[in-house]
Amino acid sequence: MSGCEQGLSGTVLHHKSIAVNSMNRRLPAGILTVIVLSLAAGCGEAGQNKYTAKAEVESTPKTEVEEPVAATPDGAPSVELLTAVYPSLDPETLRETAASGLWEVNQGTAYGYLTPDGRYLIQGDLVDLQTGESLTEQRRNESRKSVVDQFDADQMISFAPKGETKHDLYIFTDVDCGYCRKLHRELDDYLAKGIAIHYLFYPRSGPGSASFKTAESVWCADDRQAALTRAKANQSVEPKQCDNPIMAQYMAGQQVGLRGTPMILLADGTAINGYMPAARLEERLKAEGL
């Protein structure tokens, strides 16, 4: 992938035995279950306005001064091999897990686990076999929530119920996505159930595309809600330019591991990939206490 750092990729491993690297060594049975997951590292080019200024990385000339070694927690394994293979990983994300001897490291929503000697990296989900819960998915939820929390209310296009707001949904949307349009056509069904919708843009065709420019025009419109509804109805929107958060939201979509639109995030960061009718969504929100 041009312009992107290599990310963590999934490997099939099972709880009966875990194949490690090419030496085919195995850990004792029943320690953990590792489930396949492959997530690419996000990459995007920051825009030049107040919304994306925080995301810009300032380039500085290299000097001969040796950079300080990143701090790692007490008792953590050596990260020398890890950072040599994955130079974009931040060793300061290293975190002890509930599984004895395994240390968590992540890049966005891609997670891996480092063995005590720092030599082997297990890529995938860490599952508690007693409870059936994915400890990794819980951590992904936290990561996704932290990304969305970077956006204030005035940096999203929101539709709120007339009465009490019982639930909040954060939806990455594309004005040209069929199921995004279907969800928006049924907006009143969600609002009637006390579900507030907060939209963030993710033009799938990328920066500079017609969809991306339409998203910018929607944001710059005098009435953003009306302009978004027109765009999702395949009606024209007056082209406009202004400072806007579209690039920042596009980059955020990559950071949360978005694979398609719509992507619905619940208040705790739980992801629902794709469209879900209001009635089913309400049932799930009630069941999860969100």
**pLDDT for residue 7:** 42
Tokens of 140: 């992904």
CATH number at residue 166: 3.40.30.10
- Catalytic-labelled residue, pool 204, 224, 243, 284: 204
pLDDT band at 202 (very low <50, low <70, confident <90, very high): very high
Residue ending a domain, choose from 87, 109, 143: 143
- Catalytic-labelled residue, pool 144, 180, 220, 230: 180
- Catalytic-labelled residue, pool 139, 140, 144, 177: 177
pLDDT over threshold 50, residue 15: no
174 labelled catalytic: yes
The predicted model scores a pTM of 0.73
Q: In degrees to the nearest 10, what's the CA dihedral of 18, 22, 23, 28?
A: 0
**Mind listing the pLDDT tens digit for each residue in 178-188?**
999 999 999 99
Domain check: are 166 and 246 in the same one? Answer: yes
Domain check: are 122 and 31 in the same one? Answer: yes
Other C-beta atoms lying within 10 Å of the C-beta of residue 73:
11
Domain check: are 182 and 123 in the same one? Answer: no
222 labelled catalytic: no
Indicate whether 7 belongs to any domain: no
180 labelled catalytic: yes
Structural domain span for residue 204? 153-287
Residues 224, 198: Cα–Cα separation, whole Å: 12
**Mind listing the pLDDT tens digit for each residue in 97-139?**
999 999 999 988 889 999 999 999 999 899 999 999 999 999 9
pLDDT band at 25 (very low <50, low <70, confident <90, very high): very low
**Mind listing the pLDDT tens digit for each residue in 33-61?**
333 333 333 333 334 566 655 544 444 44
**Mind listing the pLDDT tens digit for each residue in 77-107?**
999 999 999 898 888 889 999 999 999 999 8
Q: Tell whether the torsion through CA atoms of 90, 91, 95 and 100 is positive or negative.
A: positive
Domain check: are 114 and 188 in the same one? Answer: no
Indicate whether 9 belongs to any domain: no
242 labelled catalytic: no
Count of the separate structural domains present in the chain = 2
Indicate whether 148 belongs to any domain: no
Indicate whether 85 belongs to any domain: yes
Residue ending a domain, choose from 143, 166, 193: 143
**pLDDT for residue 52:** 55
SS3 114: strand
Higher pLDDT, 290 or 97: 97
Residue ending a domain, choose from 98, 119, 143: 143
Instruction: Tell me which H or E stretch contains 250.
Output: helix 246-255
pLDDT over threshold 80, residue 173: yes
- DSSP annotation of 67 reads P
Calculate mean pLDDT across residues 65-74: 56
Residues 113, 20: Cα–Cα separation, whole Å: 12
Calculate mean pLDDT across residues 233-253: 96
For a pLDDT cut of 70, what percent of the chain falls above it?
74
- Catalytic-labelled residue, pool 174, 176, 220, 230: 174
Of 37-46, 219-228, 250-259, which range is least confident? 37-46
**pLDDT for residue 42:** 36
What's the distance, CA 13 to chain centroid?
A: 24
Domain check: are 173 and 281 in the same one? Answer: yes
